[in-house]
Amino acid sequence: TERRGLRTQTHRTCFCNSSNHTGTRLVHNTRTRAEPSDMISTRSFRKSLCAILVLGRTSGAFRSLSPTTFPRTSIAAAAATSRSFGRTASDLAMSKRVLVPIGDGSEEIETTCITDTLTRFGAEVKTASVMDGELICTMSRGIKVIADMSVEDAAKEEWDLVALPGGMPGAKHLRDSDALSTILEKQKQDDKLYAAICAAPAVALSPKGLLEEGATCYPAPQFRELLTKPSDDEVVVTGKLTTSKGPGTALKFALELGEQLFGKETRDKIQKEMLVD
């Protein structure tokens, strides 16, 4: 299933708009009963309409709906399409774009908190795999997540925020990605927002000179010794960089990022809706 920017391998996914649940994807099992040739059922019509919408937006031409090509090539575009229904051109122009790079061993609580929370704010959130030629990432606790794109493709686009989850060895995979390094260096050079949590500040940012003095990270000696004057605060903002400690502070971290993108008033609204004190 897929919800709020994250996809897990469970069923084939078809995207439809819901006025009550922005960003929600409806899942239908692809195994359907054969139906009479002289009638078109509601289910068949709905599935065909979704397929046409997806394929038309992603390639401009129809593709084979094979089990291997449809989920990989079309899901990200369909998600963006479903979120755009009912929104004005002004709304879409003001949308903030957020990139969440992931790899094998990335921390799933932190990844989900970032993607889910910022989607609630109204951001367009994309996950990008740093694993060479592979979109499916096995997270730190075994959950499999299908990224929206490769990090190489993400490097061709512009982002308002790049937020790195922690987890090991996920943070090492982020560190070793040349394409991600290019993205992060461009964010800093363009004075745009970037962020990291848990092991990522120490492991992925510090070796590349992208970490500011007084940042924070997961409170383990092997990580803190890589920081200059590390802070004990749960969330630290130093210029355009935001850092945080780990899974237990991930929601506060994501809310802070949402405030930076959309303002305090929107944060207060989302925080209240999420029942966060």
Q: Which residues are catalytic?
A: 198
**Among candidates 260, 265, 256, which has minimal Cα distance to 216?**
256
- Distance (Å, whole) CA 68 – CA 1: 16
**Among candidates 97, 21, 149, 91, which has minimal Cα distance to 257?**
97
User: Residue 209, by phi and psi: left (phi above 0), alpha (psi -120 to 50) or beta?
Assistant: left
> Whose structure tokens read 């790899």?
103
**Among candidates 140, 187, 139, which has minimal Cα distance to 162?**
187
Neighbours of 157 (CB within 10 A): 12
**Among candidates 161, 115, 119, which has minimal Cα distance to 137?**
115
- Distance (Å, whole) CA 261 – CA 163: 12
